[in-house]
Amino acid sequence: MRRIEMYDTTLRDGSQGEGISFSLQDKLLLATRLDSLGFDYVEGGYPASNEKDCEFFRRAREMDLRQARVCAFGMTRRKNIAAEEDQGLASLLDSQARAITIVGKSSAFQATEVLRTSREENLAMITDSIRLLHDAGREVIFDAEHFFDGWKHDSGYSMAALRAALEAGARMVVLCDTNGGSMPEEVGAVTAEVVAALGAPVGIHCHNDCGLAVANSLAAVDAGAAQVQGTINGFGERCGNADLISVIANLALKKTGYRVLRSNSVEYLTELSRYVYEIVNMNYPTQQPFVGKSAFAHKGGMHVSGVARTTASYEHIDPQSVGNERRVLVSELSGRSNIVAVATKHNVQHDPKLMDRILAKVVSKENAGYQYEAAQGSFDLLVKECAGTFRPHFERLNYHVTVETDGNRHTTTEATVKIRIGDDVRHEVAEGDGPINALDAAMRKALNGRFPALANVKLVDYKVRVINSEAATAAGVRVVIESADEKEVWGTVGVSENVIEASWIALVDSYEYKLCKDE
């Protein structure tokens, strides 16, 4: 088993992605989380670029990390200046990071046309910079920028850049597909040639401009690369970096002969992925491989029927091996297998006529704009209605919402609801931050006296989606509400041309689901 080092650059390269930003505390927390899972390197940033990165390295010295080495990132010395006088290199030494990654040009074209220096001076810049850091007792990794493009232009010069780095004291050289344009077969062949020629540790750093960063990274590992650099969830500039979530899962679960991270850490990949999305305040992409919410979601009836017989029919791994879960969705594409899988607790599998009624109801409701993938609560109520076992706990008589704005643009929202609970008619009014919040407050006042358990229900999320946008302001809308109590989270859905009415439907389903499940 060959151990492959995982080098995470989420905090530096990942932060260059559009809309991505980490606070100092975010960086410290993520570094700790990565260390707990057995990542080998955590690149913290570029100390010469900003005060936050300088403070990160100061605080990182106080962290009790078990395995990960906090790595500082920087560039080779500037042209025509001594390494000892370069401020960027001085900041790397001042960071006191035990490991330092130096990026330098390994392409003759980049050296002469972008840096505007000679080929010889570029090699001297690499040599002088790495030797200064190595002689100061630091572990040095050399990132060979534009390596694969440089190889196509002048492979001899690209190899000379790698040898200069190793002779100056670099522990490892990393081949960078900087513009993300290389193909897996190219990366594999070139990496194998470099590994054979150097006899030294080689790493890989790929960008995702062709959607191949993970594939290119795996090709390099198969060709002998000992380290993969990338980011959690593939964050990064332009189209991003290699997604280490997918790289790790593939190496650990799909390929043979490789070890990554600590034992059992792969089971926490879903948690890690979503933790990073939460830090940067982004929604989880549902179709992200291995860890996305839809990665093991089954909607087509034939698929669900197959998975019910053997999970391997439509699942390439056990979802739990990466900390994910299987989900069965209900829609107009569903067959009886979906109904049985999702409505197991209702024991409908022995009643074919009931299953047909449920399926017909789902098709009809989805034709009107409903969707039940994220609305398990509303689907459970639909099953009860079709089975004739649903008894509403209250009846709506009417509701009224007013929104008033004064001359100072101060807005007041008030909702009035009138409902019947048995023989008792309740009429309540409440203010709120917007019409839906006011409706919710008024409904709770009306219901809590008879149903105190509703006091434990809180709204977790609220989403509005236009169904038929071509109708402009007359378009129908679908509202999905997520609610939670102390034990469970559930979704409910409402559809109407009126956003308040759609919200009311979803709210009522949320209350009814809670009351039904408590019974």
Q: Can you give the pLDDT at residue 304?
A: 47
| Model pTM score | 0.71
Q: Band the pLDDT of 321: cuts 50, 70, 90.
A: very high
pLDDT value of position 425: 93
Question: Where is pLDDT greater, at 471 or 95?
Answer: 95
pLDDT over 70 (residue 72)? yes
Q: How confident is the model at residue 474 (pLDDT cuts 50, 70, 90)?
A: low
SS3 7: strand
Q: What is the pLDDT of residues 424-464, one digit of tens each?
A: 999 999 999 889 999 999 999 999 878 988 988 988 888 88
Most confident of the ranges 17-21, 183-187, 259-263, 354-358: 183-187
Give the pLDDT score at 293. 81
Q: How far is CA 496 from the centre of its chain?
A: 32
More confident residue, 343 or 44: 44
In the prediction, which pLDDT does 465 show?
84
Percent of the chain with pLDDT over 70: 90
- What is the rounded distance in angstroms from the CA atom of residue 233 to the CA atom of residue 222? 22
Average pLDDT, the chain: 89
CA angle 185/191/194 to nearest 5° reads 145
- Mean per-residue pLDDT, 491-496: 92
Overall average pLDDT of the 104-126 stretch: 96
Q: Please, which pLDDT band fits residue 332 given cuts at 50, 70 and 90?
A: very low
In 253-319, at which residue ranges do the beta strands (DSSP E only) sit?
A: 258-259, 297-298
User: What's the confidence (pLDDT) of residue 159?
Assistant: 98
The predicted model gives 191-200 an average pLDDT of 96
pLDDT value at position 309? 56
Residues 487 and 506: their CA atoms lie apart, in Å, by 20
Provide the strand spans (E) within 207-338: 227-230, 258-259, 297-298, 327-328
Pull the structure tokens for residue 117: 């220096």
Half-sphere exposure of 166 toward its Cβ, with a 13 Å CA cutoff? 17
**479 within 8 A of 501, measured Cβ to Cβ:** no
In the chain, the percentage of residues whose pLDDT exceeds 90 is: 65
User: Does the pLDDT at position 69 exceed 60?
Assistant: yes
Residue from 519, 377, 335, 348 nearest 461 by CA: 377
Q: 510, 481 in Cβ contact below 8 A?
A: yes
The residue-averaged pLDDT of 110-135 equals 96
Cα separation, 413 vs 403, whole angstroms: 5
Q: Is the pLDDT score of 84 beyond 90?
A: yes
Residue 285: what pLDDT? 86
- The model's pLDDT over 161-178, given as tens digits with 9 standing for 90+, comes to 999 999 999 999 999 999
- Local confidence band at 154 (pLDDT 50, 70, 90 cut-offs): very high
Section 34-60 average pLDDT: 92
- The confidence band for 283, taking pLDDT boundaries of 50, 70 and 90, is confident
Confidence category of residue 278, pLDDT binned at 50, 70, 90: confident
Q: How, if at all, do strands 69-75 and 41-45 pair?
A: parallel
Asked if residues 293 and 286 have their Cβ atoms less than 8 Å apart, the reply is: yes
As a whole number of Å, the CA-based R_g of the chain is 29
Residue range 317-337: mean pLDDT, rounded = 70
Q: What are the CA-CA distances from residue 123 to residues 150, 162, 196 (Å)?
A: 14, 9, 22
**What tokens were used for 505?**
């439907």
Residue 325 DSSP label: -
Please report the pLDDT score of residue 168 as a whole number: 98
d(CA 245, CA 241) in angstroms, rounded, equals: 11
Q: What is the pLDDT of residue 362?
A: 79
